[in-house]
Amino acid sequence: MPVISTNTAANSALRYLNYNSDQQSENLSRIASGSRITKASDDASGLAIGTKLQTDVATLTQAQTNAANGASILSVADGGMASISDILSRMKTLATQSVSGTVTDTERAYIQAEIDELALEITSIATATSFNGESLLDGTSDYATGVVFMAGTESTDTLTVTITDVDATALAVAALDVETDATTRTAALAAIDAAINTLATARAEVGAQMSRFEFRESMLATSLENTDAAASAIMDADIASEQAELASNEVKTQAAIAALASANELPQELLDLLR
């Protein structure tokens, strides 16, 4: 029924214009932000899950860095131990030479001097082998008792780096005597053998920890990739789909504008009947 006091057609056209305009604005917001959820009302549960996943991604990224740092610390420690191992090998050679009856007391004095210097060098290497200012091999830092690294998303996901003290005193080679008599020379040789075994055990422990850190780092990389993908599936906008929907809403908005303009002209056209 054509009337002039109430323009129902205009009201309907205006309602659709507002709706289409809002949809168009939402499409533009998603495209501009790259996010499927620009406000909580878009998807409340998806926002909660996606936010947690994004937090996990940030945590996993740091955990991966922690694991890499732990492996690096152990690698530095192993390098220092390798140098000490070479020194112990040289000390054993010298101690073995001192036991030989073909060596005179003069040569044994030279051997003793070199062994003393090598013992000092072991302690020097143990002190100098450090990470971020903390010595790793002389038992003075927290690494001697264990340093915890966060390597996951939960507080219980931790790995511990523990490095044995391997300076000359700890290896019992700080005061070897290959000069006095056969008994002390034999004892020195035995002490060096024991030090070599102690160092080998310490290196094996470092190697085992390093292997664990490397495997954890690899696992964290996989978890990070999968968690990031899951967060993306929930939070990220499908740009192609949003662009297609935007084009559709633009057409609908233009149609609603045209319809509203036509509806607004209807009362004026009805007045023509009175002329």
DSSP string, 177-241: -SSS-HHHHHHHHHHHHHHHHHHHHHHHHHHHHHHHHHHHHHHHHHHHHHHHHHHHHHHB--HHH
pLDDT of residue 194: 96
Do 257 and 128 share a domain, yes or no? no
Torsion-angle region of residue 261: left (phi > 0), alpha (psi -120 to 50) or beta? alpha
Q: Based on the domain organization, do 127 and 209 belong to the same domain?
A: yes
Percent of the chain surpassing pLDDT 70: 95
Same domain for 94 and 175, yes or no, is: yes
SS3 of residue 134 by DSSP: strand
Q: Is 133 in the same domain as 165?
A: yes
Q: What is the mean pLDDT of residues 115-134?
A: 94
Regarding whether 164 and 51 lie in a shared domain, the answer is yes
- The confidence score (pLDDT) of residue 19 equals 84
- Which of 38, 62, 64 has its CA nearest to residue 50? 38
Does a structural domain hold residue 39?
no
Please check whether residue 146 lies inside any domain of the structure. Answer: yes
Per-residue pLDDT for 33 more than 90?
no
In the chain, % of residues over pLDDT 90 = 55
Residue 269 has pLDDT above 90, yes or no: no
Per-residue confidence (pLDDT) for residue 102, from 0 to 100:
81
Q: pLDDT tens digit string along 221-267?
A: 999 999 999 988 888 888 888 888 888 888 888 888 888 888 777 76
Residue 94 and residue 228 share a domain: yes
- What pTM value is reported for the model? 0.78
pLDDT at 275: 63
Q: Which residues, 6+ apart, have CB-to-CB distance to 85 below 8 Å?
A: 196, 199, 200, 203
Question: 173-232: per-residue pLDDT in tens?
Answer: 999 999 888 899 999 999 999 999 999 999 999 999 999 999 999 999 999 999 999 988
Give the separation between CA 72 and CA 56, rounded to whole angstroms.
24
The range of the structural domain enclosing residue 131 comes to 44-235
Same domain, 76 and 133: yes
Question: What average pLDDT does the structure give for the chain?
Answer: 88
Residues 6+ apart with CB under 8 A from 133: none
CATH number of the domain enclosing 176? 1.20.1330.10
Domain count, the chain: 2
